[in-house]
Amino acid sequence: MPIFAAGTRAEARRLASPRMMIDVRPMTESTENIGPGRATAPTGRQRLDGRLTLFGAATQPAVVEVTPRPRAKRMTRALATLGAAIVLAAIVALIPPHVPWLLGVLAVGAWRARAEWRGEYELHDFAGVCPRCEKPLALTERYITPPLVVHCDDCHSQPQLSFGEEVAQG
Ligand SMILES: [Zn+2]
């Protein structure tokens, strides 16, 4: 993209329309995720074809824009989240009535750590329609792992979204 050659990465990101995002790979992310068996795995932000399946309805195509989250990064972030929660819990435990604060912060920390560990992809964009009623679907989760269930607000069906390797295997 010659238009971005003279600008900074931040400018490139700001200038890029959603359709052009796939061409703007952050250089800082290009070298992570290199390890045994993963050297050829795509890194950085990418747009993947997917599909929405629902029993008794025609399968619909879907598109997701995601950044893969390598296992090591997920582990590091989960442990960091847990560590931060423990430190924060020790601080808020000084405030009466002590125990509820302590348990509350630990519970939120554990829940956040679980989310950091489980999400194999960070979701940036999603487009797809419900296989049953064909209304546009929305995904609000930040971290996702395919296949996952997407709730349809219109007909209350729960089609399954798969993409990436899940689609290739099917
Ligand atoms: Zn629907």
Q: Are residues 76 and 49 in the same domain?
A: no
Residue 38 maps to a domain: no
Range of the domain at 141: 43-69+119-170
Q: Are residues 93 and 128 in the same domain?
A: no
Classify each residue of 9-27 as buried b or exposed e, where b means 16 or more C-beta atoms within 10 Å of its C-beta: eeebeeebeeeebeeebee
Q: Are residues 107 and 153 in the same domain?
A: no
131 CA distance to ligand 1 middle (Å) = 7
The structural domain count of the chain equals 2
129 CA distance to ligand 1 middle (Å) = 8
30-46 pLDDT, tens digit each: 444 444 444 445 678 99
Q: Are residues 99 and 170 in the same domain?
A: no
144-168 pLDDT, tens digit each: 999 999 999 999 999 999 998 656 5
Q: Are residues 52 and 126 in the same domain?
A: yes
Cα radius of gyration rounded to whole Å, the chain: 20
Rounded-to-integer distance, Cα 140 and Cα 142, Å: 6
pTM: 0.63
19 CA distance to ligand 1 middle (Å) = 26
107-156 pLDDT, tens digit each: 999 999 998 998 999 999 999 999 999 999 999 999 999 999 999 999 99
- Asked if residue 26 has pLDDT above 80, the reply is no
Q: Are residues 112 and 141 in the same domain?
A: no
Residue 27 maps to a domain: no
157 CA distance to ligand 1 middle (Å) = 6
Rounded-to-integer distance, Cα 21 and Cα 16, Å: 6
